[in-house]
């Protein structure tokens, strides 16, 4: 299982921040060529990304790049600059239909082949950040076998909807949930929008917990201080792991006795509960396997 709990944006035009990212504990370093880069620095950011993707990978980081949207005319040159064996995937925003995803796939394929990579090696994370994209989110999530997740973009969505953006996020609770449901229906993870109040860790914790409760399995960060909170929130707690192990032990006993359900702490345990426990333990094992050696 490849972890996608935390994905941290690093501006592609900031060499000092890319160097700092060598030590970040995020599951994915997302080198950003889009919103965090001013228009006049797009080309410079592309060239920095070309240099830093291999360096980050050599340091053991999993690296993706967010490229500019298809309608900017920048996408192909950016893809050509960064696609290679050190790159794990591409994130692309501002699309609102399955066509955008398929077009990104079409652009990636020959560059991937030219780099000597297996077909489909470069993964794809499309952003869902307009009203039309929300309605098309399931079609977008299933438009390419490259897709490893879809990302909900609250900032652009509220702009598209003409809504006031707040830290509480009540204004996006319906589309946020719709994207999580669409991702689950497509059997891919849902990644939550960044929380922009990066100096408020408690508010971040509450926002991430709310996202997890409605089906998100990871979240983007815009500051390294957010990474540990995101990892903690989207990873199982010690109590959850302990309970999942108790569920599995009790289930094995029930199965041996020929029963299809059981009572554990006054609650019924049946097949769906067991599956949740199995998934949680698999996540815990993946996190433990990815942890650096002491």
What lies within 8 Å, CB to CB, of 178 at 6+ separation is: 134, 137
Q: Model's pTM, two decimal places?
A: 0.91
Alpha carbons 207 and 168: distance in angstroms, whole number: 7
Q: Residue 145 has what pLDDT? A: 97
Over range 70-80, report the average pLDDT. Answer: 97
The pLDDT score that the predictor gives to residue 258 is 84
Tell me what pLDDT residue 14 has: 96
Chain centroid to CA 279: 18
Query: Which superfamily does 6-233 belong to?
Result: Phosphoenolpyruvate-binding domains (3.20.20.60)
CB-based contacts of 32: which residues, under 8 Å, 6+ apart?
Answer: 9, 10, 11, 12, 65, 66
The pLDDT assigned to 230 comes to: 97
Orientation of helix 238-256 relative to helix 271-290, angle to 10°? 130
293, pLDDT greater than 60? no
Q: What is the rounded average pLDDT for all residues in the chain? A: 94
Taking alpha carbons only, the member of 252, 166, 155 closest to residue 194 is 155
Residue length, the chain? 294
For residues 250-260, average pLDDT: 85
Q: How far is CA 140 from CA 113, 145, 164, in A?
A: 24, 11, 26
pLDDT value of position 235: 92
Give residue 253's pLDDT. Answer: 87
Give percent of the chain above pLDDT 70: 99
The pLDDT of residue 257 is: 83
- pLDDT for res 144: 98
Residue 168 has pLDDT above 90, yes or no: no
Dihedral, CA of residue 92, residue 229, residue 55 and residue 293, to nearest 10: -140
pLDDT digits (tens, 9 = 90+) for 26-35: 999 999 999 9
Per-residue confidence band for 222, with pLDDT thresholds at 50, 70 and 90: very high
| pLDDT tens digits along 114-154 | 999 999 999 999 999 999 999 999 999 999 999 999 999 99
Share of the chain above pLDDT 90, in %: 82
Q: Which residue has the higher pLDDT, 140 or 269?
A: 140
Kind and range of the H or E run holding 240: helix 238-256
Q: What is the mean pLDDT of residues 176-187?
A: 98
CB 190 within 8 A of CB 179: yes
Give the pLDDT band of residue 229 (cuts 50, 70, 90).
Answer: very high
The answer on pLDDT for 72 being more than 60 is yes
């Amino acid at each position: 299982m490849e972890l996608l709990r935390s994905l941290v944006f690093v501006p592609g035009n900031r060499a000092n921040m890319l160097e700092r990212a060598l030590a970040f504990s995020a599951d994915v370093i997302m080198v950003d060529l889009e919103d965090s880069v001013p228009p006049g620095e797009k080309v410079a950011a592309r060239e920095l990304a070309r240099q830093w993707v291999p360096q980050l990978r050599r340091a053991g980081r999993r690296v993706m790049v967010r490229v500019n949207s298809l309608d900017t005319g920048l996408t192909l040159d950016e893809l050509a600059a960064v696609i290679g064996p050190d790159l794990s995937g591409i994130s692309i925003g501002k699309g609102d239909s399955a066509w955008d995803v398929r077009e990104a796939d079409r652009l990636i394929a020959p560059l991937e082949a030219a780099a000597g990579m297996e077909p489909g090696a470069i993964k794809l994370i499309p952003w869902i950040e307009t009203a039309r994209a929300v309605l098309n989110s399931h079609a977008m999530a299933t438009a390419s076998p490259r897709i490893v997740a879809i990302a909900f973009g609250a900032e652009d969505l509220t702009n598209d909807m003409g809504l006031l953006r707040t830290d509480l996020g009540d204004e996006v609770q319906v589309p946020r949930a719709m994207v999580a449901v669409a991702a689950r229906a497509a059997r891919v993870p849902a990644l939550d929008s960044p929380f922009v109040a990066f100096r408020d860790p408690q508010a971040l914790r509450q926002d991430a917990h709310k996202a997890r409760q409605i089906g998100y399995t990871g979240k983007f960060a815009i500051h390294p201080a957010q990474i540990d909170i995101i990892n903690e929130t989207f990873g199982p707690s010690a109590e959850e792991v302990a309970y999942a192990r108790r569920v599995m032990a009790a289930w094995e006993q029930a199965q041996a006795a020929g029963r299809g359900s059981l009572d554990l702490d006054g609650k019924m345990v049946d097949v769906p509960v067991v599956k949740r426990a199995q998934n949680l333990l698999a996540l815990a094992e993946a996190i433990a396997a990815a942890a650096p050696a002491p």
